[in-house]
Chain A
Amino acid sequence: MPGPIQPIIDTINQQIPLEGFLIVAAVMFAIGAWGAVIRRNAVVVFMCVEIMINAVNLTLVAFADFLPSAAGLGASYAALIIAIAAAEVAVGLAIVLAIFRSRRTVNIDEVNSMRG
């Protein structure tokens, strides 16, 4: 970051403790999990899952930045997780498309031909 912005960011960074990041991430994860459980539209459920995975990534990057023994490896793990999440959603959207073709709906609670 060029110019005068970098010192400001550094000051802010120094004042936020690790717990701050962890709490924000935990709240994000809870919001995502809540949404994934109550929303009916499959696409919105995937968006909620993305929020959950991004919360995990935030936790991971925060740990990697603050823990001396982590040696910065956390950032590369985060890149790995982003790639996995993308693959999951790619397969997910393909299946949602297959559902939509045969039923004209992507609402999870309307797709319930199996019981018992």
Chain B
Amino acid sequence: MPVTGEAIVGLLPEIIATVFLFVVLLGGVFAGERNSGLVGALATLGALATFASAAVLLAVGFEGTFFGDSYAVDNFSLFFKLIVSGTAFFTVIAATRWAGTTGDAPEYMTLILSVVVGAMLLASMRDLFGLFLALEIATIPSYAMVAFDRSRRESAEGGMKYLVTGVIASSVLLYGLVLIYGVTGSANLTQVAEAFSGELTPVGLVGIGLMLSGFAFKLSAAPFHFWTPDAYQGAPTSAAAFLSVAPKAATFAVLLRILVEGLPGATTTWASILAVIAIITMFVGNLSALRQRNVRRMLAFSSVAHSGYILVAFAAIQGGGQQTGIQAVLIYSAAYAVMNLGAFFAIDLVGEDAKSFNGLFKTQPALALCMGVFMAALVGIPPFSGFFGKAWVILAGAQSGSILVYAAVGALVINSVISLPYYFGIVRNMFLEEPVSGGVARKDDGGVRFSVYALAILTTVFILFFGLLVTLTGASGLL
């Protein structure tokens, strides 16, 4: 099958990101190690150009499948490409100063951009082995990102724990994909859908189960979430922020595509499995987060809980909730991206101990207000972004007409209440406690500060984009 001009236009965001990946790596070699500002600027430009190209493709309504029906460019995938490249934009800005201090800025930026390439490929893949390749392109650099900080011992430790669980998860996922391939005889999702339209064979059922377990690892869903707190605590803050959002959103995208396009015949099976996983994940994430004194660890468990909330939307993709369920995944991913990224970056400016937030409102009111916005959004309080995600998940659950999903939605509401104390514990520390005397004055970082303020504004004005978001996700191209 020849590569057409149309395919190149469809692949433009990936091509731009790949070109900038090499430009940043080579630019770093020629600029010398003192010139991290230039490298940061190049990487920022790359993320921005990628975002712009994906936005243009989305605006002109570009659609098509390429390379023998194995690569789909549609509204759905472009939406996730926007999330991934937008996240990368803020991460690169926030990481520039820090990466300069390690002396390896070009390598770090290259790793970020290669995760971007992998995550964007992932959102478009319609081929079982292609998606495994894309998943690994996104995952392998992320192991290195977690272990990147050589000045902290925890970094390599977090990286190793992430890596060991990650490679085991990859092989389990791959086994599932191979069994599905064996039942189907083809790696293409269209043929998979045909083979799985009838009664499920035992081999097919095992394949689906192994594949979902592998994805549960990647999405840090219980009972496979145990690597998350260690990896996020050990990782450099920018890496933890980025990895908790971009690859995760893309993994949700590809899981949604496999389930909706590849396995519609087995909907009741996977929807019930995912409903149970979602309920366990929400409770485990929130109850573990309650015990944490380290804010980074707390946010790691909170990201586990949020994976659970998104999985409720997956479980709701049945009966009358199909369209709304898919919409809910898209809206929640966007809402989660802005609020979680901001919350992680705020730690970089304040400190990872919960006590370091004490009296922040008196010393740095603007930063305290931003953190307050992120916390309120993560709880799901109305004007902020998280509310719309949760509202749409509940709406989809109500339309699904399944008892198990109703239970999951009930668990979501209960969990939102459970999560109040730990999010508002930080808000209380910031506004009511006295500043800790003799606390170390942290070096101010303009890039991180810019990212935090911009993301706080985005989280607040999410409501203005909401109408656009609903129209966009309503015609996602999936289904």
Contacts and interface: CB of A to CB of B under 8 A. Distances in A.
Nearest to A54: B171
A100 to B, nearest CB: 9
A89 B163 CA distance: 9
A60 B159 contact: no
Given A42-B160, A49-B167, A56-B171, 10 more contacts: A52-B168, A56-B175, A63-B185, A74-B181, A77-B129, A77-B187, A80-B129, A88-B136, A95-B144, A95-B163
B156 interface: yes
Interface residues of B, number: 42
A45 B174 CA distance: 18
A80 B292 contact: no
Contacts of A80: 129, 133
A113 B154 contact: yes
12 contacts: A32-B171, A33-B172, A42-B164, A80-B129, A84-B136, A88-B140, A88-B170, A91-B143, A91-B163, A95-B147, A113-B154, A114-B157
Contacts of A116: 229, 291-294, 297
6 interchain residue pairs of minimum CB distance: A69-B185, A63-B182, A52-B171, A98-B156, A67-B185, A77-B129
B160 A111 contact: yes
Interface string A79-116: 01100100111011011101100110000100111101
A11 to B, nearest CB: 25
B107 to A, nearest CB: 12
A29 B172 CA distance: 9
B182 A67 contact: yes
B442 interface: no
Interface of A: 29, 32-33, 36-37, 42, 45-46, 49, 52-53, 55-56, 59-60, 63, 67-70, 73-74, 77, 80-81, 84, 87-89, 91-92, 94-96, 98-99, 102-103, 108, 111-114, 116
B153 interface: yes
Contacts, number: 116
Nearest to B129: A77
B178 A63 contact: yes
A87 B53 CA distance: 30
A53 to B, nearest CB: 5
A84 B170 CA distance: 10
B186 A70 contact: yes
Contacts of A73: 187
A99 to B, nearest CB: 5
B164 A56 contact: no
Contacts of A87: 136, 140
Contacts of B132: 81, 84
Given A84-B132, A98-B147, A92 B167 contact: yes
Nearest to A103: B153
Contact of A84 (B133, B156, B160): B133
B166 to A, nearest CB: 8
B175 A59 contact: yes
B348 interface: no
Interface string B187-222: 100000000000000000000000000000000000
B158 interface: yes
Contacts of A77: 129, 181, 187
Contacts of A53: 171, 174
A81 B174 contact: yes
A42 B157 CA distance: 12
A114 B154 contact: yes
Of A46, A55, A60, the most chain B CB neighbours within 10 A belong to: A60
B233 A59 contact: no
Contacts of B297: 114, 116
Interface in B123-170: 129, 132-133, 136, 140, 143-144, 147, 150, 153-154, 156-161, 163-164, 167-168, 170
Nearest to A70: B185
Nearest to B171: A52
Nearest to A90: B140
A29 B213 CA distance: 15
B167 A59 contact: no
Contacts of A89: 167
Given A67-B185, A114-B233, A116-B292, A49 B157 contact: no
A84 B129 CA distance: 11
B153 A113 contact: yes
A45 B147 CA distance: 18
A52 B176 CA distance: 12
B179 interface: yes
